[in-house]
């Protein structure tokens, strides 16, 4: 985790219990749902955030899940819609807001942001709401290391 913390949005901090709120990137959400191994630091951050309902997932991840499944790059035992609903039913998991301001901010991120539009939306969401991204993404991790957001490698 690098960079200076961004103030937590009052909208997402309402249920804040002392643990920092996290934002799962799409791969982290998949690994969490599949029970795949995650780093100790990411497991601890997720567990702490779950107790306060502060594990967020971007709506863009629903699109990514459906796209991966439709292209045969992700095999699901449920439909993408049912899978995403099951994710949101996990303890402490909530849907992050995605208003136009986040979409606009994703187009004007500072520094050298990720090229992938979904990753840019996830980065903008994290920056807007002061969330720590749980990710292993090869562009989001260096973006965090450059000080533009906070991330924990999973």
CA 84 to CA 88: how far, in whole Å?
6
Q: What span, in angstroms and rounded, lies between the C-alpha atoms of 126 and 115?
A: 16
pLDDT for 6: 29
CATH homologous superfamily of 10-153: 5'-nuclease (3.40.50.1010)
Give the C-alpha separation, 45 to 48, whole Å.
5
What is the per-residue pLDDT across 37-83, written as a single tens digit (0 to 9) for each?
999 999 999 999 998 899 999 999 999 999 999 999 999 999 999 99
Give the residue-averaged pLDDT of 20-45: 96
150 CB-near residues (< 8 Å, 6+ apart): 1, 2, 3, 5, 6, 126, 131, 132, 133, 144
Distance CA 43, CA 56 (A): 14
List the chain domain ranges: 10-153
Q: For the residues 85-93, what does the mean pLDDT come to?
A: 96
pLDDT at position 16: 45
């Amino acid at each position: 985790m690098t960079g200076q913390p961004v103030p937590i949005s009052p909208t997402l901090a309402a249920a804040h219990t002392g643990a920092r709120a996290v934002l799962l990137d799409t791969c982290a959400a998949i690994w969490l749902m599949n029970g795949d191994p995650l780093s100790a630091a990411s497991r601890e951050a997720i567990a702490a955030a779950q107790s306060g309902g502060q594990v967020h997932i971007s709506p863009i991840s629903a699109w990514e899940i459906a796209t991966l499944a439709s292209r045969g790059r992700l095999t699901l035992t449920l439909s993408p819609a049912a899978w995403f609903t099951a994710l949101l039913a996990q303890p402490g998991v909530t849907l992050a807001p995605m208003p136009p301001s986040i979409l606009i901010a994703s187009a004007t991120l500072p520094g050298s942001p990720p090229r992938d539009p979904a990753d840019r939306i996830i980065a903008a969401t994290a920056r807007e709401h002061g969330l720590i991204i749980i990710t292993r993404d090869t562009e989001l991790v260096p973006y965090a290391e450059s000080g533009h957001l906070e991330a924990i490698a999973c």
